[in-house]
Chain A
Amino acid sequence: MTISTAPVAEPAAADAPTAPARPPRRPAHAREWWLGAALVLPALVLALLFKVVPLVRGVITSFESSSGFGGSEFAGADNYTRMFDDPMVLTSFRNALLVVATLPVWIVVPLVLALLIHQRAPGWKFFRAVYFVPYTIAPIVVGIMFRQILSPDGPVNALLRGVGLEPLAIEWLNGRNSALFSLVAVALWSFFGLGVMTYLAGLATIPEETLEAAYLDGAGFFRRLWSVVVPMLRPTVAYWSVLCASGVLIWLFPLIYALTQGGPGDATMLPEYLVFLTTFQFLDRGYGSAIGIALFVFVALLSIFSVRHMFTEGTRKPR
């Protein structure tokens, strides 16, 4: 419980010099500080116990060699140097980069759909409701579902044959490139509804009068879109981009688990699945932890901007 005592000592000392300056406010101030400390305590304990402590332990384990059921001993940076010579690890991070490269699609597709719904064509509420349905289905369930949908004689290939695109009716989950492509496509199917909902929320904050004024000024549809809607939507786009950047690799785990198990070969091997495999299947905990730390650094670099954005957003005073 060093968590609570450490910060308590500091402000007591800091308060001392200011105390004589305005004596009547000090007790209230101090009481408010104690109350604040008590209020943040549960969250702080949760964050430390289930995130920070495991992360620190992960760093420590990553410097140990500990496989099988035996004990562990200090191994220096062995696990890290081993990673750079391990084709599986290198492939997994190369695949991760490929997945990250699809982020523009993740950001643009829901945006376009939200804009279409926002036109309020007949039945727009129905479409809004339907698009969110895939997101409510658990990724592991989605994965198992799409094993049938994408199977060689499944509905996707039946449709392709039906419209005369026979050559495209391939074994989706069995080709080196098509497997990763399918995986990302299924993930996008599963998450685009959340993006549409997020964008619609952002669109709702644009006042009707602003659009009307632009309309009366003679601005056409695309002009209004580009000069009025998109700039005003920037915070929403930023928020959704943040969510995708920090989430996309994590969202893929259950899909890999259900659809490809990293295969064929290492075509859909991604770091998060490799950590799981190395740790729980090969029981190589030190090495698994090292890959985990590498994954953490990768995700942290991707989402550092989003965290900065969230911080300024959450501490900024309203105008």
Chain B
Amino acid sequence: MNARHSARIGRYLLTFALVVVAVAAVYPLLFTVVSSLKTQSGFANDPLGLPAGITLDNYLEAFRRMDMPRLLLNSLITTLGGLVLSVLAALLVAYAVTKLRFRGGKVVFLLIIVTLTIPSQAIIYPLYQTVLDLGMSGEYQGLILAYAAFGLPLGTYQLAGYFQQVPDELIEAARVDGAGHLTILFRLLAPIATPALAALAIFNFVWMWNDLLLPLVIMGGSDSKTLMVGVSLLSGQYDVSVPLVSAGLIVALLPVLVIYLVFQRQLVAGALAGSGK
């Protein structure tokens, strides 16, 4: 009786703790949504409460100031480009290193994951110089290639770990059946690794879409700058009110949030599968 009683109290405490953290996790988001729906004077009178009346003017103004469609397009192109390229390159390396008799493969693998220890901040100027020398400053391909390079170490590591689990006999059997290497990689291994690929794609999408430093330095103030650069510039303007910035923030974070909510199940499944070692 007593044990059951304390177990029930434990349950309540558990749920209470989970609820508190959940509130802390979403409140800042709700606060920003509410602020974005207030007029400037409405916010000044009552910064914390619910708005007296809802206005969408801030969103219209944010769109007007930021050339939102172009920024969204820029972010989409660079993020998808970097994402596809880095996952593709990682797939090829992971296959070569784990499934081919490829002398020097381990050295290549080590070299690629060692680059994880080179943070973009530490090499930002020489990186900018290199992109400039390649004639890719302010160009989509400059940012796409940089994204791909920075996404490579973790992607290679995850996929190599995944491929490692696939028994060699399976590959041998496919070889005997006359399958070529690329068929094995894309028709046999890639489907097996789908959960890991999905998790990797979402992970890369989130950080590439959200990154500030690389697009700030590579795209600068060009027309190809990404949404995050646009948002950081907006918040720096002197005449910008809190509701207006809030509207800009909501527009900036909405795409990733929507993608996350839509692909939530895949992400969880991928995360679960990816760590199955």
Contact = CB atoms under 8 A, between A and B. Distances in A.
A40 B253 contact: no
Interface string A134-173: 1111111110111011000111001000000000000000
Given A40-B93, A47-B149, A138-B209, A315 B123 contact: no
Contacts of B210: 137-141
A190 B111 CA distance: 30
B175 to A, nearest CB: 10
Between B124, B129, B217, B257, the greatest number of chain A beta carbons within 10 A of the residue's beta carbon is seen for: B124
B277 interface: yes
B126 A276 contact: no
A148 B130 contact: no
A288 B124 CA distance: 10
Nearest to B125: A279
B139 to A, nearest CB: 14
Interface of B is mostly: helix
B272 A201 contact: yes
B63 interface: no
A101 interface: no
Given A40-B105, A49-B145, A296 B130 contact: no
Between A56, A153, A318, the greatest number of chain B beta carbons within 10 A of the residue's beta carbon is seen for: A318
Between B114, B146, B206, the greatest number of chain A beta carbons within 10 A of the residue's beta carbon is seen for: B114
Contacts of A79: none
A230 interface: no
Interface residue range, chain B: 35 or more
Contacts of B165: 318
Contacts of B48: 154-155, 158
Interface string B209-233: 1111100010000000000100110
Contact of B122 (A130, A202, A299): A299
A5 B253 CA distance: 45
A55 B32 contact: no
B14 A119 contact: yes
Interface in A263-278: 271-273, 275-276
A275 to B, nearest CB: 6
Interface of A: 7, 10-11, 14, 29, 32-33, 35-37, 39-40, 42-44, 46-47, 49-58, 61, 113, 116-117, 119, 121-124, 126-142, 144-146, 148-149, 153-155, 158, 189, 193, 197-198, 200-202, 204-205, 235-236, 239, 246, 249-250, 253-254, 257-258, 271-273, 275-276, 279-280, 285, 288-289, 292-293, 295-296, 299-300, 303-304, 306-307, 310-311, 313-318
Closest 9 CB pairs of A and B: A36-B102, A138-B210, A50-B149, A272-B121, A57-B126, A54-B126, A39-B96, A201-B275, A314-B160
